[in-house]
Structure 1
């Protein structure tokens, strides 16, 4: 005589396991991607590209090895794990400056975002150490000691594009209130000052000073070459 024993209902447990497995895989993938992203940020641009290529190659090698074998021996398991882990280990050593000696300023996390200059940005330039100039439509730069400053509609603070055309020479643009007169100008209280840049280079300078702090007439000069100066006039935005 045979007896039958009722088996406990395994449906809920099976369903639970079926849900946990993909969630666990997803969690591992998120952690892996986050780790890779962190390591790339602490690398240089070239190093990040190399590390990403090595990591992708290691993952592909491991997946191919696992897919081509029903069972892996000890050496194959070591190779599969090592191919995926070694790039992460090397990246971690670089990120912690244990190898590579990367200057923090060169790390991807400190790379400045791409700057977008508004088409209506006010522009001033320097092509020598005697005077500023204003770029023209013909590609030249007209020497000037005046600047009609028309603010960009995209900005609410004092902002302008400075184009240093003089190779190997540092310049900047400082804006102050105007002491004296337009015929005999002198610097007053400093309003804003762009960074000193060595040409040829451009800087889209966006200050924190509200635009309403810029008077109708102001004085501008180069902090490196004080003879480069002039009087600016605030014009209404177009």
Structure 2
């Protein structure tokens, strides 16, 4: 048994030596070929290294750009949410007259002309008069109500009367709260632009007054608007 183990050990050692010498010979042949054909090989090696560097650098720039763009989008989104929360909180503590003046400023910002506040004890249902950027005349009713208070339908009907009284082309009801179901329905049926709290947040954050016509009434806008409203206003 001892002799058998010795023979197996000797055979294993010889196999290891053969593999070692095979590796040495292969390496030597590789070195010789590299030296002999260096003028042909080195441009390929340099090209491969350059290509690898370009690909690696491009990938790094692409990933960096994605990261920066993603961070910028998130920052803009978060800032818009914070701005909406700040501005509505500030609006909530305004007096009725201050709110009317603020609506006048927003109208002028959006290119409306001849905008003036007419609200008072005998305002005939109008707080602001003026013209939209396209030249149509408008009459606006402003209500600075607490967020949990609903605008009743009778106040929207009063605005329709003001539209007739002032011979206005467009009637707009701007509120810091929400409209009751009947009030929203009446506004939609009579082409009254009903700007409730969510819409006002968009307007205050930069959306133009004419653009709000696409999301007012019974509709709540597209998915992006609904997500913004839900996150901003709860």
Give yes or no for TM over 0.5.
Answer: no
Q: Which of the pair is proportionally richer in strand?
A: 1
Short-chain TM bin: under 0.3
Larger Cα-atom Rg: 2
More helix by share: 2
TM-score, structure 1 normalization: 0.25
Q: Greater relative contact order (Cα 8 A, min sep 6): structure 1 or 2?
A: 1
